[in-house]
A = this chain, B = another copy of it.
Amino acid sequence: MLIIDWHLDKTKKIPLYQQVIEQIKIKISSGDWPPGSKIPSQRTMSEILGVNRSTINTAVNELIADGLLETSVGSGTKVANNSWSLLASSTAMWNHFTNRGQQQPNLATIQKINTYEFDQNIIRLGTGELSPDFYPKEFMGSALHALAEEISQLGYAEPLGLYPLRKELCRYLKRLQVVTAPDCLLIVSGALQALQLISLGLLNRTSTLYLERPSYLFSLNLFQSAGVRLHGIPMDDEGLSLDSFRPAGNTSRCLYTIPCFQNPTGVTMAAERRQTVYNWCAKERLPIIEDDVYRELWLDAPPPNPIKALDSQGLVLYIGSFSKALSPGLRIGWIAGPKPVISRLADIKNQIDYGSSSLSQWAVHQLLSSGSFYRHLEDVRDKLKWRREICRRALEEHFTGLATWQMPSGGFYVWLRLNTPLAMNALFHTALKNGLLLNPGNLYDKQTSHYLRLSFAYAGETDLAEGLSRLSFLLKHSF
């Protein structure tokens, strides 16, 4: 007979049925509950573990759905015969493969964040994504209805991406004083893929990337996996500060910058500073990767034109995306740049995924060409402004004396500076136990133990205030 020799921990934030699932999986993978064996009845389990029948029932159904348990009339519930092949235990042959590839795994904290993001019970105080409330159901619905009629084939798009979309994007970019041509634009599956293509196609182990410190890029292992050296440059209120900086003699070097509502600081590079940075890069012959994914999320006034708009020399690769202001699930972004660079990146994209979803490309084209994208942006700004206000009030109420901050003029982020440095990992885990998912500042600058990246874009309005209040309580009482 199979034995239940574990206890559930009701103080844990992990739901009880999930604890049951985890324990049963351990039993199966350890061989204590072998394939084909009959598991204890639900009544027995609920009595021994001291929980409701329904909790056990949820867990068992989940395990059946996962194929680990199976049930047949009259003979109760058994461990499925193929359960081992579904679990880790019997996959020794793959084991030495899984840490072998050249690509490093994600940072441990990022892996945890990615997992907990799908836990409904947690308040996400750092997520760099619009809340589902922002989804433009009506606009997107009209676009899909239109596409149902319009699309008459869905083959691979052209190597650079759907031509009508590139055309439309040129028009969009013209509003920002960026003059480009469909041939100089590559559609990608989000800005992250743009960076992946750049790391695969343009950089290598001799390359150095200069960038703001802190920066989003420090939280990725993308460039590190390619052996690229990241070299942080300090920032001030007007963005990247080049005063005390001189690049080394290396020929393969680039500047990476997020000039609008920078991730994680929220700082926007001033117009004059953009010109300074551009001139300096032109003089130093330093190409620029301009990551402008937050541009359309301005809340007070439109930000200065892109650095790309100053680019008379083909110096700038300009990255944009529909993930931040429209919908990350579409996975559509773009790179604009000199044609030979774009061709090289397109060739690589072609080698790794044969282009982005044509369906998504058509959907974005529809939203842009019908103008709904621009109407949607107005909605987004209204709602986001109100969330920024909620956040500002909560910060003033709960964090005065505990931290300092500057409210950004757009984007998602408040770069909260704690008055006392803290052990970032401990804070992350304590917060998690208290139902809060944080993005600790050391993700974006390994040296820091002073900062948190807050986002007012994701958590529900009530949750945002509640989460910040709970966080301040933790900071006051647990640290």
User: Which residues from chain A sit less than 8 Å from chain B, CB to CB?
Assistant: 65-68, 80, 82, 84-88, 90-91, 93-103, 105-106, 111, 114-115, 118, 129, 132, 135, 137, 140-145, 147-149, 151-159, 167, 170, 179-184, 189-190, 192-193, 196, 199-204, 207, 220-222, 225-226, 251-252, 254, 285, 287, 311-315, 327-332, 337-341, 344, 347-348, 350-360, 363
A98→B189 contact, CB < 8 A: no
- In the complex formed, the residue of B with least CB distance to A355 is B331
Question: B residues within 8 A CB of A350?
Answer: 106, 114
Question: B residues within 8 A CB of A182?
Answer: 65-66
- In the complex formed, the residue of B with least CB distance to A145 is B148
Q: Given contact pairs A87-B339, A225-B351, A327-B358, enumerate 12 new A-B contacts (beta carbons under 8 Å).
A: A67-B181, A68-B181, A85-B312, A86-B184, A86-B338, A90-B314, A97-B254, A144-B147, A144-B148, A154-B330, A157-B329, A331-B353
Given the known interface contacts A222-B352, A328-B354, A330-B357, the answer about A106 and B347 at a Cβ–Cβ threshold of 8 Å is yes
B202→A100 contact, CB < 8 A: yes
B314→A94 contact, CB < 8 A: yes
Given the known interface contacts A85-B314, A135-B152, A347-B106, the answer about A94 and B328 at a Cβ–Cβ threshold of 8 Å is no
- 18 residue pairs A–B, Cβ–Cβ below 8 Å: A66-B183, A82-B179, A85-B313, A86-B181, A86-B183, A87-B339, A94-B314, A94-B341, A97-B202, A97-B254, A98-B341, A102-B226, A111-B347, A137-B152, A143-B148, A153-B329, A190-B353, A331-B358
- In the complex formed, the residue of B with least CB distance to A82 is B179
Which residue of B80, B106, B155 contacts A327 across the interface (Cβ within 8 Å)?
B155
A196→B140 contact, CB < 8 A: no
Given the known interface contacts A144-B145, A314-B94, the answer about A151 and B170 at a Cβ–Cβ threshold of 8 Å is no
Question: B residues within 8 A CB of A201?
Answer: 98, 101, 103
Q: Tell me, in angstroms, the Cα distance from A294 to B460 when the chains sit together.
A: 45
Question: B residues within 8 A CB of A311?
Answer: 85
- In the complex formed, the residue of B with least CB distance to A80 is B179
Q: Tell me, in angstroms, the Cα distance from A208 to B154 when the chains sit together.
A: 36
A412 CB, min distance to chain B CBs, angstroms: 14
Question: B residues within 8 A CB of A149?
Answer: 141
Question: B residues within 8 A CB of A88?
Answer: 338-340
A119 CB, min distance to chain B CBs, angstroms: 11
Question: B residues within 8 A CB of A352?
Answer: 192-193, 196, 222
